[in-house]
Amino acid sequence: MDNWEEVTPYPAISYVDFVSVDKDVTVCGEVTDADIVAKVLSNNIQAEDGASDDVEDNSSIVQKRPILSVAEVMDHIQALRRFFESSNNVEGVAHTLTTQEVVGMALQIIQGMQFLHKKHLLHRDLATRNCVVDPEFHVRITEQALARDLFPADYHCLGDNFNRPVKWLAIESLVHNTFSTVSDVWSYGVLLWELTTLAQQPYVEIDPFEMAAYLRDGYRLSQPINCPDELFAVMAYCWAMSPDDRPTFSQLQICLQDFYKQLTKYV
């Protein structure tokens, strides 16, 4: 098939799946996967006055106005991280996704991130724990607040009181607390690595306090077993030291669409 619209498993992906949780809202009781499965109407997501129209060149952190979120729990949907954990334990045998399925998920996540950036929103915590998936592999992006309760081991304080997803953050986010559209791209590269490893922990042997120095020295995640060279090249592209050298999500979309079409030729 020549058109991506014809091969994507869920072309629209609703575009309303970024969950915005007001900072004053307190979640009480035990947090479950159902708590992070929610949808927000797209016209409830608004950018701050004065935000740059050229979002790809906007390096500042764009805050959201307080908005009301409309949440609905959807049956048979779970955190993408949980999905991979359960896939690793299907009757004691790991269930491996096809490369085509992985790339299909990756493209859906790109679509969601493009929508957020067009609305002048940064995610700042893109990872499998902050996506949800249904049985047909339709993937949606969620907001990060509740994932901190579901996956506390993914967050660390580096000598302060701020919990951050250290091993998913771009080097400039770790060192200077600077976030941009291309720091989201860095995190997307780590998410791609998660997709190809069934959500293994990145940099598992590196102490969180050593991560900045480790990245500054040029070290990155290694190529997963059975990960095609083309897909790993996309990950490495996301982890360029200089933010200016990283791709935009539009560029990533083109790369992965081309790769997806190559894969469909052999199905």
Instruction: Please give the C-alpha separations between residue 166 and each of 15, 93, 198, 212, 237, in angstroms, as whole numbers.
Output: 27, 31, 20, 9, 19
Half-sphere exposure of 137 (CA within 13 A, CB side): 17
The CA distance from 64 to 20, in Å, is 9
The CA distance from 53 to 56, in Å, is 9
Specify whether the CB–CB gap between 249 and 114 falls below 8 A: yes
**Residue of 125, 160, 207, 258 with catalytic role:** 125
The CA distance from 187 to 102, in Å, is 17
* 217 assigned to active site: no
Q: Where in the sequence numbering do the catalytic residues fall?
A: 125
